Amino acid sequence: MPMEAVAAPLSFDAIGEKDLAAFHRQREKILTAFIDRIAVAPAFADVAADAEKTRIAQETGKIFIENFYATAKYRLPAAIVEYLDWLRGYLGSRSFPEDFIPGMFSAIRHATHAFLDDGSSDDIAAALRQLELREKGILQGDAA
Amino acid sequence: MTQPQLDTFIAALEQGDRRRCFNLVREWEQQKLPSDVLYNDILIPALVHIGSSWEQNRQGIVEEHVATQIIKAIVAYKAANTETRETNGKSVMVGCVPDEQHDLASMLIANMLEENGWRVTHYGASVPQPDLVASAQRLQPDLLCLTMKSIGGLESTVQLLTELRSVLPDTKIMIGGTHMPSVRAILAEHVDAVADSFRDGVEKAESLTGG
């Protein structure tokens, strides 16, 4: 599955404007859910144990949600990929766990499902899942 | 000859040595180093270097801010002390797009245009959109030159550009910034030119407004 997910061109075309607007309206709740998740999820234990990493992780979540919204709205998957390429290097140089970025996508995806009561979360979640699998594929050496 | 100068400047910048950086700039001024070279071949590459050092965790955020403040002070010094060419009779309004806090690029392009004879109004960052539009309507500049670094503000930028276009049909609009490759197609629909570099921005400003 990761190979197919990485190979498939990332697209935001399926995301409806109304659903994306709902995502944008709920962005604070989605971010809060991600931040809460950092504190309790075993996958983020290394980050939660370090105050500076926690601060960076929270800021990263905020910026990612903003960038995801902007790039999905204008159908610019290349722009989010470019940002993620930068983010991987930035976090890597600060000794973040390699699976932090896919873990962040997973947490944001689950929060999106939980909070998009005024719209469908399916297509947004699918795009986040595609990004998550793409990151995992990169970690496994499936894509550069 | 700029590589040794760049290396010397970066070494002083990395140490946060304001006096050394300022003295270097004055020394180069006395040697008649053109401002264009100082901006494009020393200050901007030094900024890129410092930014990369921060990204790669070789320097902390405080050191990155110290270096940025040194360069801002130099750019402000140059704005106040550099003789400009004879006026070209054209006016430009320069500043950041909404939600953009990084105003150094706008300071640099403001200096470059001013030194090329433009009458510059530089508003910097954090100006509310309605006030910016109202001010632009009042000033009626020949050119609006906007800088953008973060893609998160794309929606508010497009909204601003749409409104500016509607109320200032005769004013040319140019935008530049570090994320231009990936968002260029969207922005290009709303502006007259996308600048790929500072030098490109100065050239396009001239060509857009009739040379």
* B38 plus B102 within the same structural domain: no
pLDDT(A6) > 70: no
* B98 plus B184 within the same structural domain: yes
Mean pLDDT of chain A: 91
What is the full DSSP assignment across B146-198?
A: EEE--GGGHHHHHHHHHHHHHH-TTSEEEEEETTHHHHHHHHHTTSSEEESSH
> Is there a contact between A86 and B55 if contact means CB atoms under 8 Å apart?
yes
Domain assignment of residue B27, given as a range:
2-81
Q: Kindly state whether residue B36 falls inside one of the protein's structural domains.
A: yes
Residue A17 burial (CB < 10 Å; 0-12/13-18/19+)? exposed
Among all residues of chain B, which has the CA nearest to that of A90?
Answer: B55
Chain B residues with beta carbon closer than 8 angstroms to that of A79: 151, 179, 182-183
> Is there a contact between A66 and B55 if contact means CB atoms under 8 Å apart?
no
Please choose, from the candidates A92, A104, A113, the residue with its C-alpha nearest in 3D space to the C-alpha of residue A131. Answer: A104
* B110 plus B169 within the same structural domain: yes
- The DSSP code for B125 is S
ipTM: 0.85
What is the spatial distance between Cα B149 and Cα B147, in angstroms, rounded to a whole number?
7
**Domain positions in chain A:** 2-8+17-139
> Is there a contact between A76 and B57 if contact means CB atoms under 8 Å apart?
no
Residues of chain B with pLDDT under 50: none
pLDDT (average), residues A60-67 = 97
Please give the share of chain A, as a percent, with pLDDT higher than 70.
92
Annotation: CATH topology of A2-8+17-139: Globin-like (1.10.490)
* B11 plus B70 within the same structural domain: yes
Q: Answer with the residue of higher pLDDT: A142 or B37.
A: B37
Q: How confident is the model at residue A8 (pLDDT cuts 50, 70, 90)?
A: low
Mean pLDDT of chain B: 94
> Is there a contact between B155 and A69 if contact means CB atoms under 8 Å apart?
yes
pLDDT of residue B152: 87
Any B CB within 8 A of A16 CB = no
Q: How confident is the model at residue A31 (pLDDT cuts 50, 70, 90)?
A: very high
Read off the pLDDT of residues A70-125 as tens digits, 9 standing for 90 and up: 999 999 999 999 999 999 999 999 999 999 999 999 999 999 999 988 888 999 99
